Each structure stands twice: as C-alpha cells, then as structure tokens.
Amino acid sequence: MAKRHEVGSLGGRLYRGEVSLDIVGRRRQWYTVSLVLFILSCSAFFFKGLTLGIEFKGGTVITVSSTQADATNARQTLESLPFINGLIVQELGSDKVRIQTDALEPSELNEVQDLLASRYSIALETIDVQAIGPSWGEEITRKGTIGLVAFLVIVVIYLALTFEPKMGLAALLALFHDVFITVGIYALVGFEVSPATLIGFLTILAYSLYDTVVVFDKVRENTKNITQVARLTYSQAANLAVNQTLIRSINTSIIAVLPVASLLFVGAGLLGAGTLKDIALVLFVGLIIGTFSSIFIATPFLASLREREPAMIALAKRVNSRGGGESESAPVQRAQPKRKKRK
C-alpha cells in the first residue's frame, strides 16, 4: 500500500514538475552510454557475427522422444553415418533429444530417421523433423533482407509524413539505435536468429516507434507557444514532457513485458527452442532497449537538434536571464516556478 501511494504521488509530482528527473539535461551521459553500446554492438557484429538458424542457412533438426535417448547415445548413433556434418545434439527435458545437422539429401534424411527409429525402437511417425534445403535458406535470407529494408524505408516515410522534420530525425535515430543494439546483443550472446526472430524484431521497431510518438506528442503540446511564454527553454519543456509521460512509459513497458515474459519463461520454458522462444526473446530484449531509447535517446536528441535553432538559443537566453541564469538544463529544484503558479 505504502509503496503504491509513493508511486502514485510520484506520478503526480512528476506531472506538476515538482520532482523532475533531469533526463534531457544529462543527455551527454545517455549519448555516451549509447555510443559505448553502439561500438560494442558493431564490434560484436563484425568480429563474432550473428548465429543464423537453420531456416537461413539450410539444415535439419530432428527431435526424438524416447526415455532411452540421451545426447551421448544419439551422437554415437549418428556419428557412424559418413554424410553427417555440423552435428549438434541437445537434451530437451528428460525424454527428448534434439539433433541438428547441416542440410541432408532426401535419401540421407530417410536413412537418419530409419536409424533413429530402430535404435530407440520408436515409430517413424513420432519423430519430429524440420528440414531446410540449402537453396531455400538463401531464399529466406533474401526475403528476410528485403523485408527488413522495406520495413525501415516505409517507417522512414511514415515518420517524414507525420512528424516535424526534426522529430522524425530523432525518432529515426532512436530506431537505428534499437536496431544496432539488439543486433549487437544477439551477436554478443550468440542467440540464434530465425524468421520468428526477424518478425519479432520488426514488431519491436513498431512498438518503440509508437512509444516515441506518445512522448513527442507531449513535447509538441508543451512547446507549442514556448517562444511567447518564455518561461521554459526548449530543453526544459521537453524534459517536462518526458517526465510527464514517464509513468505511462514505464507502465506500458511493464504491461507489454509481462505477457512477453510469460511467453518466454512459460511457453519457451516448456517447449525449448522454437518459434515461441525466438519471438519472445527478441521482444523481451527489444522492449527494454526500445523503452530506454524513447526516454533517454529520442527526446534528448530532439532537444539537441532544436536547441541549435537561433530562436531557441535566444529563448534560452531570455529564460536564463529571467530565472537567475543557470545552465540550459533544468535541475530538480528549477521547476519550482510552475508549482508557485498553482497556488
């Protein structure tokens, strides 16, 4: 109870600007954090590369359900076959073994299935198979790349049409920030990339985008007559907007993460590798990065851009000379004037 009241009242105080997290003012810190992440991501991507799933490179995954099967004996069984390459054997739970190999010819696949069926005395019908031909993998990679690029192009067009140019630029930067860092995390940790990962990833871009839309809406509202009122600098007004939408951003992210976490830990926990895990994992990683970027990157970057405009520089001068002349940012106590006005 007590905690809830605190959160609730924090929301109120954030809204009125009594408490203000100086997000826009400290933008250099966030830029540094992001730049470090960006460099790490790029080096992970170029030096380590992404781990592509069999959908992209071709390959075969066979799952055998038998209490007799374990990783060791499955490996022994298959190593006797001359055509097996790139063998990876994993145990799933107590009675399943997942066997992955490079792409097999149809006759080779039949041989593997027959061998496993007789080794564990199970019916052929109970063996689960996913086999991707090498040229199919190329096709999927081609389509996936086209999809990603086309998606980004359409998003850029959307941004250009709906936002002020500088807002569009800032949203775009936040978007690329999300793309690079998610890719970097995937490269660094070695998570597998499948078509499900790709579609989850694109979903996150959309999600992060509309998170940014909500904050920018508020920025636009707060800065509408900013030069006439001359009470806040652009940065201060933008910071107020971030603070005002902070609770909403956090709540939305928590609520979005909850079902995704359920997918990841319940669904993928029960099933192991597969569609659910791939979608849920990328959403989980991406949601966190997307929330970070819409709070800490998009708006601060927008403020950086706008503060360069002559009108905004002049405004900052006027505001600063009036309010006791401090730095352009709005430290915690500086939002006091707004509160006075309420009384």
Partner 1 sequence: MSFERSGYTNPRSTLPQPPKPSNPIRTLSILFLVLLAFGGVALAQGATKINLGLDLRGGTSVTLQPKVQPGEEGRVTPESIDQAVNIIRQRVDGVGVAESEVSAQGTGTNRQIVISVPGETGRRIIDLVGQTAELRFRQVIIETTDAAAKDLLDDASLPAGITPEIAEQFRTLDCALTAERGGGILDDPAAVMVACDRDGFVKYLLAPAEVLGTDVSGAQAVYDATTALGWYVSLDFSSEGGKKFAAVTSQVVNNPSPQNQLAIVLDGLVVSAPRINEAITGGQAQITGDFTQLEAQDLANVLKYGSLPLAFERGEVQQISATLGAEQLDAGLLAGIVGLLLVILYSVLYYRGLGLVAVGSLVVAAYINIFAFALLSEWIGFTLTLAGIAGAIVSIGITADSFVLYFERLRDEVREGKSIKTAVETAWIRARRTVIVSDVVSLIAAVLLYIFAVGGVRGFAFTLGLSTLIDLLVIFFFSKPLVVLLSRLKFFQRGATLSGMSPMSLGLKPAATKEVSNGQTS
204-243: contacts with partner 1 (CB under 8 A): 205-207, 209-210, 213-214, 217
As measured in angstroms, the least distance from the Cβ of 27 to partner 1 is 24
By CB under 8 A, tell whether 158 contacts partner 1: yes
Q: Which residues, numbered 311-340, are part of the site for partner 1 (CB under 8 A)?
A: none
As measured in angstroms, the least distance from the Cβ of 9 to partner 1 is 3
Q: Which of 252, 291, 294, 299 binds partner 1 (CB under 8 A)?
A: 252
Q: Which residues, numbered 11-70, are part of the site for partner 1 (CB under 8 A)?
A: 11-13, 15-16, 55, 63, 65
As measured in angstroms, the least distance from the Cβ of 121 to partner 1 is 16
As measured in angstroms, the least distance from the Cβ of 130 to partner 1 is 5
The answer to whether the CB of 295 falls within 8 A of the CB of 208 is no
The answer to whether the CB of 159 falls within 8 A of the CB of 92 is no
Q: Which residues, numbered 108-147, are part of the site for partner 1 (CB under 8 A)?
A: 109-110, 113, 124-133, 135-136, 139-140, 143-144, 146-147
By CB under 8 A, tell whether 170 contacts partner 1: no
Q: Which residues contact 258 (CB under 8 A, 6 or more apart)?
A: none
Stretch in the footprint of partner 1 (CB under 8 A) among 74-82, 173-181, 192-200, 290-298: 192-200
By CB under 8 A, tell whether 275 contacts partner 1: yes
As measured in angstroms, the least distance from the Cβ of 319 to partner 1 is 23
By CB under 8 A, tell whether 293 contacts partner 1: no
In degrees and rounded to multiples of 5, residue 131 shows phi and psi of -120, 125
As measured in angstroms, the least distance from the Cβ of 213 to partner 1 is 6
- CA proximity to 260, closest of 236, 243, 276: 276
Torsion-angle region of 325 (φ positive above 0: left; ψ -120 to 50: alpha; else: beta): left
When the beta carbons of 30 and 284 are compared against partner 1, the nearer one is 284
Q: How far, in Å, CA of 74 to CA of 98, rounded? A: 9
- Reduce the DSSP state of residue 186 to 3 states and report it: helix
- CA proximity to 173, closest of 221, 223, 163, 43: 163
The answer to whether the CB of 89 falls within 8 A of the CB of 97 is yes
The count of residues in the chain is 343
The answer to whether the CB of 329 falls within 8 A of the CB of 22 is yes
